[in-house]
């Protein structure tokens, strides 16, 4: 099983297995110490023929990397289960795509690099990095 893509967006939802994104594809977010940052993680998973009709688990974890200490710590974890059936008439052996959109609300105290790690059935499948950046206030 493979995660085809993992995308950060301002907002995302999946309707009838179509992904709708607003403000998608970014890798930097401004630091706001006063309020939680709200964003979405969109995921597309390719499910092979022989993995259909089986319940699978997925997990998305947000990690914070401290460059000074090289410490990596988990700051959020979310997940669930999915099962993809075989629709009538699908050609034998055809893989299928399932898409998920997860809303995230996190408060970041400091600028730095964060990492999103996506796992299926306990195995890491894809990850991406994004930066929380300090915005210079203009006077």
Return the higher-pLDDT residue of 33 and 128.
Answer: 128
Adjacency order of strands within the sheet including 96-106: 18-24, 2-15, 37-47, 96-106
Domain extent listing, the chain: 2-133
CA dihedral for 100, 103, 109, 110, sign (positive or negative): positive
Return the higher-pLDDT residue of 57 and 134.
Answer: 57
CA 114/CA 60 separation, integer angstroms: 13
Look at residue 67 in the predicted model and tell me its pLDDT: 62
Residue 32's pLDDT band, with cuts at 50, 70 and 90, is: confident
Q: State the architecture of 2-133 in CATH terms.
A: Sandwich (2.60)
CA 100/CA 122 separation, integer angstroms: 17
The predicted model scores a pTM of 0.87
The predicted model gives 32-56 an average pLDDT of: 93
Query: Two tokens at 25?
Result: 């594809």
Residue 54's pLDDT band, with cuts at 50, 70 and 90, is: very high
């Amino acid at each position: 099983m493979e995660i085809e893509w993992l995308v950060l967006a301002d907002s995302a939802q999946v309707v009838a297995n179509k992904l709708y994104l607003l403000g998608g594809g970014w890798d930097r977010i401004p630091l706001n110490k006063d309020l939680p940052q709200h964003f979405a993680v969109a995921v597309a998973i390719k499910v092979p023929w022989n993995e259909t009709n089986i319940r699978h688990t997925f997990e998305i974890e947000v990690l914070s990397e401290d460059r000074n200490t090289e410490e990596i710590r988990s700051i959020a974890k979310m997940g669930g289960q999915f099962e993809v059936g075989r629709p009538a008439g699908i050609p034998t052996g055809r893989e299928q795509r399932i898409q998920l959109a997860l809303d995230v609300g996190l408060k970041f105290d400091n600028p730095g690099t964060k990492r999103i790690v996506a796992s299926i059935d306990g195995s890491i499948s894809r990850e991406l990095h994004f930066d929380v950046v300090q915005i210079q206030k203009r006077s």
